[in-house]
Amino acid sequence: MKKVLKLVVNLLSAFFIVSFLSAGTCSVDATATNQFIRCIGASSAWTYMLNLSNWANQLFADNDLEGYIGLSSLRARIDPNGSHASEVNNLVLAKNVNPNILLWSTEWSPPPQYKANNNVNGGTDNNKFLGAESGNPNSADTGYANYLVQYLQYCQSRGINLYAISPQNEPDWNPDYESCLWTAGQFEVFIRAFRTALNNAGFTSVKILFPDTVNHYGFSNLAKTTMNNATTSQYVGILATHLYGAMPSPLSSYGFSYVTNQEWWETEISGGSDLSTIQSGIELAEWIQNCFVNAGMNGFHYWWLNDLVPNNVPSKRFYALGNYSKFIRPGYYRMNATAQPSSNVYVSAYKNTNNSSPTRIVIVAYNKNSSSVSQTFNLNGANVTSVTPWITDSSRNLSKQGAITVTNNSFTYTLPGLSIVSFVGNTSNIGTPTATPTPKIFNIPGRVEAEDYKCCEGTGYHDTDTTNQGGAYRNDGVDIETCTDTGGGYNIGYAVSGEWLSYSLNVTQAGTYNIGIRVASNGSGGTFHLEIDGVNITGTLTIPNTGGWQTWQTITVNNVNITAGQKTLRLVMDGNGSTGYAGNFNYIDFTAVSNTPTFTRTATPIPPTNTPTRTATPIPPTSTPTPKIFNIPGRVEAEDYKCCEGTGYHDTDTTNQGGAYRNDGVDIETCTDT
């Protein structure tokens, strides 16, 4: 009897010890800033089993609604035979839903003429790239580089500006489908050839992503020749690996000689448990924890959209991914949090700024235990009064719960067994500068204010540091200061070589424009240029010594031809002046000089010369009417659809057979209805 009693006492003691260990506190510190998060996404390669048009909103829309996961990145496949339309269609769909989504592409195999086996498929010993191992690029290097440039040009023609290109998926793997083996030396030579081809074609901002290996063992071997070269390493924008068979390490641990500002991405992972089970969701949470917390990565990508929505039914992994992608938006930063506060409980935390005063925080916790855990979170530097949990577990799918009160910077929440919970809180630090002003679309002809660039680092702008040195208007990394030029407002300051800013344009009429750039410099200024959709439209311009940082002059570039439609303008700083800066920028004016006539509805319209019509009093087409936003309740006029082919409409031919109102491919005619 004594032995039995002793056993019971020991078991109870063990129970209380385990309960105590499982009730640790998670400390979240918003004053600490770790890496920025570029994106969380997946791949649309070979997405023929999923009708993406039916799921694009749930996958890519950025909102706070249940059932939507807000992927911020989409990885497409580059067809090796030049049949790009179906894959690029997926990019167009994603962009239509979320104009700010980051889009990039990977080649699984170069075209066959650049391979030893003369076949896009692999599985044979000679499934190898024919590029040079060292020295100057050969014809395979330059030919393949030009092929990828042609792909970028096709994307651009569809309204898609890619963020990055990966020239080879899994170059250390030789399966019998599209694939190709590369060596470390071949990458170093090809990257030089590819960067040259990109720059020559005007794609100066497109990043080269490599080596995109099976796991980090192959990554280290294939990246080292390039990343130990002082020159070629500068041409690499993103270092990337998959996770199959091994988890990554911090980028600094690989011992490369010239890691500077390259991003560090995970670009593919799948497998594991049945996708319909919560276990598959917990596995995905562990992958993200390894990438963001343990390896300090900037991007995470699941493999296949098909896996997220198998048989057109969202999987648990779909919702588990949403616990991260829906709330951790591009440009957020990871802050400090106790990574494992309790037994089998893991936590990561994020904020929407790089300083110690975030306006929004996100904490993601997952519980691997089969039983629930009461978890306490203590907050430092985040003035949060409540947080809203979103739960994915065996019975709930990214389900929004009631708000939890935060008292004295602390809250306690019971994490269900086998669950992922995202806590989202808005802080009382909200005020100016704002983290992300409402995106603006500038109508051209008109003025573009320099400070109203697009969000976020790497997609809407690039700045060489993470602090707004001017301290005005916005709290991202771009340097903005109060402007004393006529009209006041703000200007871009402290601009240096290598930085750039992007703007959304709606060019309402095609034609010739004079462009005026308002600049200032307290000394000999640096150089810059303007691009539209990746094409340099001004050439290199030099900022003069205006006599002061707030003494303004206008640099004018005349007779620039611009087509109508939705465009991306980029202001690129090319070089610094004697002050160590390129200069200050206030605004950019686009003034129409000789534009294609824009006709309007009148009582007695005058048809354009040589334009056949079907009625005696036609309404002449305009190039691109100003986009309209219809108030509901109210009427939507059928002819006032959005611009342009593939984004605002699709028509099976390119001619307006009705000859009225607009001159794109949609068929419009005069109406006699009331």
Residue 573's pLDDT band, with cuts at 50, 70 and 90, is: very high
- Given this model, what pLDDT does residue 452 score? 93
Least confident of 235-244, 453-462, 508-517, 589-598: 589-598
Share of the chain above pLDDT 70, in %: 86
Q: Do residues 587 and 448 make contact, with C-beta atoms less than 8 angstroms apart? A: yes
Question: Is pLDDT above 50 for 3?
Answer: no
**Locus of tokens 């071997």:** 221
Both tokens assigned to 408: 């004295």
Per-residue pLDDT reduced to its tens digit, 34-66: 999 999 999 999 986 577 888 999 999 999 899
Place of tokens 């911090």: 250
Q: Is the pTM of this model over 0.75?
A: no
User: Residue 573 burial by CB count (10 A; 0-12/13-18/19+): exposed, middle or buried?
Assistant: buried
- pLDDT confidence of residue 1: 33
- Residue type at 278? I
Q: In three state form, how does the secondary structure of 423-441 look? A: EEEEECCCCCCECCCCCCE
**Over residues 69-75, mean pLDDT:** 98
From CA 26, how far away is CA 246, in angstroms rounded? 28
For residue 655, what pLDDT is reported? Answer: 64
Q: How many CA atoms lie within 13 A of 212 on its CB side?
A: 29
Q: Quote the pLDDT of residue 641.
A: 76
Beta bridge partner(s), residue 423: 363, 389
Place of tokens 């799918």: 397
Residues 6+ apart with CB under 8 A from 111: 80, 81, 82, 120, 144, 147
Please state, in angstroms and as integers, the Cα–Cα distance from residue 443 to each residue in 270, 448, 452, following that order: 44, 8, 13
Confidence of residue 660 (pLDDT cuts 50, 70, 90): low
pLDDT of 629: 63
pLDDT by residue (tens digit) across 164-219?
A: 999 999 999 999 999 999 999 999 999 999 999 999 999 999 999 999 999 999 99
Residues forming beta bridges with residue 345, ordered by sequence position: 342, 367
Does residue 184 contact residue 224 with C-beta atoms inside 8 Å?
yes
Average pLDDT over residues 265-288: 97
Closest by CA to 95, choosing from 646, 666, 649, is 646
| Answer CATH for 20-34+331-430 from 1.10.510.10, 3.30.420.10, 3.40.1180.10, 2.60.40.1180 | 2.60.40.1180
What's CA 38's distance to the chain center, in Å?
A: 6
Is pLDDT larger for residue 53 or for residue 446? 446
Distance CA 134, CA 131 (A): 9
- What is the Cα–Cα distance from 252 to 256, expressed in whole angstroms? 7
- What CA–CA distance (Å, rounded) separates 130 from 502? 37
Mean pLDDT of all residues in 230-254: 97
* pLDDT computed for residue 158 by the predictor: 95
Task: Using a pLDDT cut of 90, give the percent of the chain over it.
Answer: 71
Find the largest Cα–Cα distance for the chain: 110
In this prediction, residues 224-232 reach a mean pLDDT of 98
DSSP state of 589: E
- CB atoms closer than 10 angstroms to residue 547: 13
Q: Which residue has the higher pLDDT, 643 or 425?
A: 425
Indicate the average pLDDT of the chain. Answer: 87
Q: Which residue shows structure tokens 């339309």?
A: 85
> Taking Cα atoms as reference points, which of 196, 204, 190 lies closest to residue 497?
204
- Is residue 620 over pLDDT 60? no
**What pLDDT, on the 0 to 100 scale, is given for residue 640?**
76
Q: Which of 15-29, 184-198, 518-532, 622-636 has the lowest mean pLDDT?
A: 622-636
Residue 482, helix vs strand vs coil: strand
Pick left, alpha or beta for residue 439 (phi over 0 → left; psi -120 to 50 → alpha; otherwise beta). Answer: beta
Q: Closest by alpha carbon to 385, among 327, 431, 426, 335?
A: 426
pLDDT of residue 18: 42
For residue 584, give both structure tokens. 């200050």
The domain segmentation of the chain, as residue ranges, is: 20-34+331-430, 39-329, 441-595, 600-674
Residue 487: which pLDDT band, with cuts at 50, 70 and 90? confident
Three-class SS state of 184:
helix
Please report the pLDDT score of residue 631 as a whole number: 61
Q: Is the dihedral of CA 136, 141, 142, 145 positive or negative?
A: negative
The whole-number pLDDT of residue 440 equals 81
**436 has a pLDDT exceeding 50:** no
- The residue type of 140 is A
Query: Confidence band (pLDDT; 50, 70, 90) for 10?
Result: very low
Instruction: Write the burial class of residue 497 (CB in 10 Å: 0-12 exposed, 13-18 middle, 19+ buried).
Output: middle
| Region 489-511 average pLDDT | 92
pLDDT at 472 over 70: yes
Domain 441-595, what architecture? Sandwich (2.60)
Q: Quick one: tokens of 479? A: 């340097």
Q: Is the pLDDT of residue 125 over 80?
A: yes
68 pLDDT more than 90: yes
Alpha carbons 280 and 318: distance in angstroms, whole number:
10
Distance CA 569, CA 586 (A): 15
Query: Which pLDDT does position 421 carry in this prediction?
Result: 99
DSSP 294: I
Expressed in angstroms, the distance from the first to the final Cα of the chain is 98
Q: In the CATH hierarchy, which top-level class contains the domain 39-329?
A: alpha beta
Q: Indicate whether 465 pLDDT > 90.
A: no
**Where does the pLDDT of residue 438 fall: very low under 50, low under 70, confident under 90, or very high at 90 and above?**
low
d(CA 390, CA 321): 12
